[in-house]
Amino acid sequence: MSENEAGAPGRALSGIRVLDLSRVLAGPWATQTLGDLGAEVIKIEKPGTGDDTRGWGPPWLSDGAGEQTRESAYFLAANRNKHSVTIDMAQPEGQALIRQLAQASDVVIENFKVGGLKRYGLDAESLTALNPRLIYCSITGFGQDGPEAGRAGYDFMIQGMSGLMSVTGGPQDEPQKIGVALVDVLTGLNAAIAILAALEQRHRTGRGQTIDVALFDVAMASLANQALNFLVGGTAPRRLGNAHPNIVPYQVFETADGHLILAVGNDGQFARFCRLADLSELASDERFTTNAARVAHRDALIPMLGAALKRQTTGEWLAMLDAAGIPAGPINTIAQAFAEPQALARGLAQALPHALGGVAPGVRSPLRLSESPTGEGLAPPVLGQDTDRVLTDILGLGDDERARLRGAGVI
């Protein structure tokens, strides 16, 4: 573990310092996760503009007087539990400051194009030479090698290239992207997992290492059963809309007043559902007694189930299905999801005091550790909020030197 005393005391990663050179979503999601776990995250941003996502609004955060700020909801989503430090890495003095911070850090994470930081002397080879204990994580679209390594990668593009969009959407519709930049989010989570593994390895060996995480790799790995359906079966999966390729019935059904999701996971649940829906004869029909048989005879089964489900309302069905132990649920809007009793009981919506006054809304971290809880933490910082403190506390820069650097546009 680092000898740093920075970070959140009592949390799992207290004492770990992360130098965050990333922006937009995948990298910031990784560092937000590490920050939630107690690491001290120092986010380096360009003076004047900062992370691109600061301007990706509306909507904008309101300050304590109810006036709109220029802090976007997008930026707030991925940057809690961080300290913002403005440094212009295009300037030699800025590069020198970042190198000093890297020497005092445990982890560096960046998401520049392959080779993009080498001209600044901020690449893995340069920084690990200065700090052999450093864990240096690079997030790119396609990884550090291969014919596409030099290309920029974006979530939407990667969803298409990886095959994810080929299995998303209705059978007769055009391929669809997921409604959230989920490849970026999953890449951030995979990067955080790799960093945690590297920290444990360093605990045993005393040596850091480099980590190569690619959006394309993550998207392909996250195809899960669909990837194996192809690798085992030899046929590319097709779009099934809200149906499941390997489980039946496991999809959206229309009710008397809306829709619900029915997620029958085994043969016992199917038999109970048939009794509940006055379709007991289907449970003994050899075409439907097993999941494999139901998948094979999907086209015959689904219309019969659909007709039965239309006889009652969504609320009536959900009450009966829950009582019978059959997995089912509503299709909520995001507003309805936050109003769910479970979301309220778990405190999933949180509000953190913000530097501009008022509070910054957020979603609580899903990581719940009994001995080192994540807690509420810090609201996403305003641009440069922590520049003076970090450069003073970590690098020992005095007032005059900071004023000189600020006048030169370095910080």
Catalytic sites, residue numbers: 184
Output the furthest CA–CA distance in the chain (Å, rounded). 85
CA dist 327 → 186, 261, 330 (Å): 26, 8, 11
With residue 62 as reference, give the H or E element that holds it. strand 60-62
Distance, C-alpha 183 to centroid of its chain: 8
d(CA 206, CA 68): 48
CA dist 81 → 179, 207, 240 (Å): 26, 27, 40
Which candidate, 350, 328, 355, 306, places its Cα nearest to that of 77? Answer: 350
Beta-strand ranges (E) seen in 236-322 are 250-254, 259-263
Which candidate, 329, 320, 328, places its Cα nearest to that of 277? Answer: 320
d(CA 260, CA 347): 25
Q: How buried is 71 (Cβ within 10 angstroms: 0-12 exposed, 13-18 middle, 19+ buried)?
A: buried
d(CA 279, CA 277): 5
d(CA 152, CA 265): 40
Helix axes 267-276, 314-323, angle to 10 degrees: 130
Q: How buried is 295 (Cβ within 10 angstroms: 0-12 exposed, 13-18 middle, 19+ buried)?
A: middle
d(CA 112, CA 149): 12
d(CA 52, CA 74): 10
In DSSP terms, 85 is beta-bridged to 44
- Give yes or no for a contact between 194 and 177, defined as CB atoms under 8 angstroms apart: no
